[in-house]
Amino acid sequence: MVQENLIRFSNVTFKYDENEPAALRDVSFNIQKGKWTSIVGHNGSGKSTIAKLMMGINQNYEGEIVVDGILLSNDTIDEVRRHVGIVFQNPDNQFIGSTVEYDVAFGMENQSIDYHVMHEIVDEVLTEVGMSDMKTFEPSHLSGGQKQRVAIAGILAMSPDIMILDEATAMLDPEGKESIMNLIKSIQSEHHLTVISITHDLEEAVNADEIIVMNKGEVYKQDIPEEIFKQGAYLTEIGLDLPFAMRMNYLLNHNYEYTTFEQLVNRI
């Protein structure tokens, strides 16, 4: 069955400043509807620039960007943003409301949604992310993981088709990171979301449906994880740390074969 492409970048080039090298150079890729796609790369690879372009935060690029069938332009930015929600690396940068429930409601207030409907949606999404007992808390009193849960609730309240995670777990401890990733996987399945994870963490990217590898503003490769991790030597060369199981497999067997932790244990 042919999968529908929800996002398309065609020959996209972007500069933050005319006097600087391009942050993206002739970038082309498709992201399929309902899939989890990880865009990986070291700092400066262009991966976060892609997220900002999808949201219309960065403009004045060359090429074409199509999001959910809409050609991105100055005239369509607001329409595109209704289809996309983004969770940033630092949760403190995305809070506007004085309480958890007000922060989740903020986007709906801007769309003049009926108060009673809005109240029901806030309760529903906070329950879904496990934060209903903290709806009257000030965001500053929450842990990093709890703040990210509230940010996710705010996105769910707007019913987007696409959720972008821009290094969303980078500031969390391993337990918090695992908890947030499991939550997002559950939400993706329940709401049939397309998830785009911008990350340098290949351990996180292992479970994606597809991975796009960025380096120096260009797409190196787009493929399923099993194929991407065959390029282990290259991934290491561009400054990415391989997942633990693959590092151990290389030490034991001197190859970059894609390996899960369970497979590694069975071989030992």
d(CA 193, CA 177): 20
d(CA 88, CA 52): 11
CATH of domain 5-227: 3.40.50.300
Q: What is the pLDDT at residue 94?
A: 80
Q: Which distant-in-sequence residues (6+ apart) come within 8 Å of 232 by Cβ?
A: 242, 246, 250, 256
Neighbour-count burial for 4-27, b at 16+ CB within 10 Å, e otherwise: eebbbbeebebbeeeeeebbbbeb
Measuring CA to CA, which residue among 200, 233, 232 is closest to residue 47?
200
Q: What is the pLDDT at residue 255?
A: 73
Q: What is the pLDDT at residue 268?
A: 65
Query: CA separation (Å) from 135 to 72, 88, 119, 168, 198?
Result: 35, 21, 11, 21, 28
Task: Give the residue extent of every domain in the chain.
Answer: 5-227
Q: Walk along the chain (268 residues) in steps of 10 and give the mean pLDDT of each run.
A: 83 94 97 97 94 90 96 94 91 84 89 89 96 94 94 94 94 92 94 95 92 97 94 92 84 73 67
- DSSP element (H, E) containing 218: strand 218-223
